[in-house]
Amino acid sequence: MSNRRTFAIISHPDAGKTTLTEKLLLQGGAIHLAGEVKARGQARRARSDWMKIEQQRGISVTSSVMTFEKDYDGETITFNLLDTPGHEDFSEDTYRTLTAVDSAVMVIDAAKGIEPQTRKLFEVCRLRNVPIITFVNKVDREGRDPFETLDEVADMLALDVSPQMWPIGMGGQFEGLLDFESGEVSRPEGPSKEFLGKRDSDPEIPEEWAEEAELAKVGYPEFDLDAYRSGDLTPVYFGSALKSFGVTELIDAIAKHAPPPRPQPAGDEQIAPGHDEVTGFIFKVQANMDPNHRDRIAFMRQVSGTFKRGMKLTPSGLGKPIAIHSPILFFAQDREIADTAEAGDIIGIPNHGTLRVGDTLSEKDAVRFTGLPNFAPEILRRVQLKDPTKTKQLRKALDDLSEEGVIQVFYPEIGAQHIVGVVGQLQLDVLISRLSAEYKVEAVLEASPFATARWLKGERKALDEFESFNRANLARDRDGDLVFMAKSPWDVNYQIEKNPELTFSATKER
Ligand code: G4P
């Protein structure tokens, strides 16, 4: 049985994801002072110009991996926490990160309930049957009636909810948290009313709250491991990330209930962790983590086998093996060179553009993981250079950034202007900012006549014929694949009807 738990936290901005992350790392001994996650984040931001956007918008554009461990009766559980970008514009990036996890923690603000971003992220999890543990945060503040929150989760997300804890009072009247399983109440202490480890095993609970807790216990389904793992039921923990309530219970629940590494789809096959070779897929590429070295890190989710440093793996996009000499494991404080890694782990692979999002890496070069598509862009813009002598630099930059998955780039069959496509507006800001900061290319974006794009597939003859009539609406993507640039959704439907022998695909698997 694997001791890896690879998960992400999904939430709406401000629900408390950063604070909870910090407390989880603190519990795992990965950091020693609360506040370090943010502090480190700021130090990192200061290093790179383009990350100014993060500061201006107060969002996290870069996503990272944090690994920490906790012992349970002699067994060490390794937690890999993948940070999902917290902005709704980054649906594509977030989607890919969620393909690399086996479970998720959904953080809800006790006063606000399910917010739009929580819901979107939840839908992505549901699409992939990712099981979810719910953490209702900020019970130290005046919030909604907990029953209301539970019913909202159940109704809006069509999930069974199974409370595992109950707050004794909220806000000013908050007297602690009752753990249903142990019957203990964790108590606030000191002037800041934090949880400092005081657990009451024979608690006196005011009648009103005792009744409520009893009602919650009998009124909702009991925890059922199978129902949780198949995504039909969510166990609900209450707590306060800020005051450290419910954090131990949450981490223990992940250790105990969250699934170990799951098989991953590869066409018609499922590759299980026990598969007889090392396999994995790249779900993210991040450039310039250290601007002095212009390095580029590809994040690989390992799916099977035992990886050893120096091992040769073949990336599907390259077709020949490369030796992985300096893999990186992301222990929260430092980047560390990894000697071995197991299924479920995330390995950072430094490279100069050979690895791309969606690539499969494997020893035998026979497996191809699926389910990491590019999505048809919803916003298309023409890139206009301010200095026309920089065409070469622009092309290099656009190729790089599309490999990283920041944008998609399309080269029209007619005309010299490059077209960039994104799923969300923020990606365009990142593009302009990085073009200028990293490639010294000043550019502006102009409206393009196109509204969306579809990847074209079909027999050579049919494709050629379509091409000869529609050259003005055709482009090649970064891989040289043919793309139909549509002026409207109507345009797409029209062409689909007119060309039954071709497929117009809204996603592309690499
Ligand atoms: P995010 O990453 O999900 O965006 O949320 P983050 O952790 O940054 O938390 C958002 C705000 O909510 C922060 O306050 C944080 O201190 C507060 N918060 C998080 N968890 C709790 C909790 O359990 N109880 C209470 N009362 N507050 C909580 P801020 O004032 O915006 O930031 P800061 O100045 O405190 O850092």
Q: Do 281 and 246 share a structural domain?
A: no
On the question of pLDDT at 491 being above 60, the answer is: yes
Interval 150-200: pLDDT, tens: 999 999 999 999 999 999 998 888 999 999 999 999 999 999 999 999 999
Q: Do 453 and 352 share a structural domain?
A: no
Question: What is the per-residue pLDDT for 94?
Answer: 78
C-beta 13 within 6 A of ligand 1: yes
CA of 43 to the centre of ligand 1 (A): 20
Looking at residues 267-282, what average pLDDT do you find? 95
CA of 9 to the centre of ligand 1 (A): 15
Question: What is the per-residue pLDDT for 510?
Answer: 65
Please give the residue range of the domain that contains residue 349.
265-362
The pairs formed by 29-32 with CB atoms below 8 angstroms and a separation of 24 or more are: 29/68, 29/69, 29/70, 30/66, 30/67, 30/68, 30/69, 30/331, 30/332, 30/333, 31/332, 31/333
Q: Do 322 and 434 share a structural domain?
A: no
Looking at residues 17-30, what average pLDDT do you find? 80
Ligand 1 mutation target, pool 19, 22, 250, most atoms within 8 A of CB: 19
Q: Is 32 annotated as a binding residue?
A: no
Higher-confidence position of 405 and 391: 391
Q: What is the C-alpha to C-alpha distance for residues 23 and 185, in angstroms, rounded to an integer?
A: 19
Q: Do 330 and 244 share a structural domain?
A: no
On the question of pLDDT at 214 being above 50, the answer is: yes
Examine the fold and report which residue of 204, 230, 259 is the final residue of a domain before the chain moves on: 259
Question: What is the per-residue pLDDT for 284?
Answer: 86
CA of 187 to the centre of ligand 1 (A): 21
CB 492 within 8 A of CB 504: yes
On the question of pLDDT at 34 being above 70, the answer is: no
Q: Do 278 and 217 share a structural domain?
A: no
CB 335 within 8 A of CB 345: no
pLDDT averaged over every residue in the chain: 86
- When pLDDT is cut at 50, 70 and 90, the band that residue 28 belongs to is confident
Q: Do 70 and 14 share a structural domain?
A: yes
Residue 339 buriedness (CB in 10 A; 0-12 / 13-18 / 19+)? exposed
The closest alpha carbon to 247, from 137, 87, 367, belongs to: 137
368 within some domain: no
Return left, alpha or beta for 175; rule: phi > 0 is left, psi -120 to 50 is alpha, else beta: alpha
C-beta 296 within 6 A of ligand 1: no
- When pLDDT is cut at 50, 70 and 90, the band that residue 55 belongs to is very low
Q: Do 410 and 347 share a structural domain?
A: no
Higher-confidence position of 95 and 459: 459
Question: What is the per-residue pLDDT for 331?
Answer: 56
Q: What's the structural domain count of the chain?
A: 3
142 within some domain: yes
CA of 117 to the centre of ligand 1 (A): 17
Q: Do 94 and 178 share a structural domain?
A: yes
Looking at residues 283-292, what average pLDDT do you find? 67
Cα-trace Rg, the chain:
25
| CA neighbours closer than 13 Å in the CB half-sphere of residue 430 | 28
Higher-confidence position of 48 and 137: 137
Q: What is the C-alpha to C-alpha distance for residues 467 and 488, in angstroms, rounded to an integer?
A: 19
Report the nearest atom of ligand 1 relative to the CA of 12: 3
Phi, psi of 312 (to 5 degrees): -100, 125
The closest alpha carbon to 24, from 94, 64, 89, 79, belongs to: 79
Q: Kindly tell me the sign of the dihedral angle through the C-alpha atoms of 90, 91, 95, 96.
A: negative
**3-state SS track over 237-251:** EECECCCCECHHHHH
On the question of pLDDT at 458 being above 70, the answer is: yes
Question: What is the per-residue pLDDT for 332?
Answer: 43
CA of 137 to the centre of ligand 1 (A): 10
Higher-confidence position of 281 and 329: 281
Q: Are strands 279-287 and 360-362 parallel, antiparallel or unpaired?
A: antiparallel
- When pLDDT is cut at 50, 70 and 90, the band that residue 288 belongs to is low
Q: Which three-class secondary structure state does DSSP give residue 466?
A: helix
C-beta 64 within 6 A of ligand 1: no
Give the amino acid at 145. Answer: D
CA of 110 to the centre of ligand 1 (A): 12
Report the nearest atom of ligand 1 relative to the CA of 11: 3
Residue with tokens 């001791």: 3
On the question of pLDDT at 292 being above 60, the answer is: no
On the question of pLDDT at 54 being above 70, the answer is: no
Ligand 1 mutation target, pool 11, 14, 165, most atoms within 8 A of CB: 14
Tokens of 494: 């029209």
Q: Is 86 annotated as a binding residue?
A: yes
Percent of the chain at pLDDT exceeding 70: 87
467 within some domain: yes
- Which CATH number is 254's domain given? 3.40.50.300
Examine the fold and report which residue of 259, 285, 310 is the final residue of a domain before the chain moves on: 259
Whose C-alpha lies nearest to ligand 1, atom 14?
Answer: 14
369 within some domain: no
Q: Do 500 and 379 share a structural domain?
A: yes
Q: Do 401 and 350 share a structural domain?
A: no
Q: What is the C-alpha to C-alpha distance for residues 506 and 141, in angstroms, rounded to an integer?
A: 45
- When pLDDT is cut at 50, 70 and 90, the band that residue 337 belongs to is low
C-beta 141 within 6 A of ligand 1: yes
Examine the fold and report which residue of 198, 233, 259 is the final residue of a domain before the chain moves on: 259
- Which CATH number is 425's domain given? 3.30.70.3280
Count of residues in the chain? 510
- When pLDDT is cut at 50, 70 and 90, the band that residue 144 belongs to is very high
**SS3 of the chain: helix, strand, coil, percent, to 5:** 30, 30, 40
Question: What is the per-residue pLDDT for 68?
Answer: 82
Higher-confidence position of 21 and 105: 105
354 within some domain: yes
Q: Do 139 and 252 share a structural domain?
A: yes
C-beta 244 within 6 A of ligand 1: no
367 within some domain: no
CA of 409 to the centre of ligand 1 (A): 37
Q: Is 377 annotated as a binding residue?
A: no
Q: Is 14 annotated as a binding residue?
A: yes
Question: What is the per-residue pLDDT for 333?
Answer: 45
Q: Do 437 and 353 share a structural domain?
A: no
Question: What is the per-residue pLDDT for 87?
Answer: 56
Residue with tokens 């995330």: 346
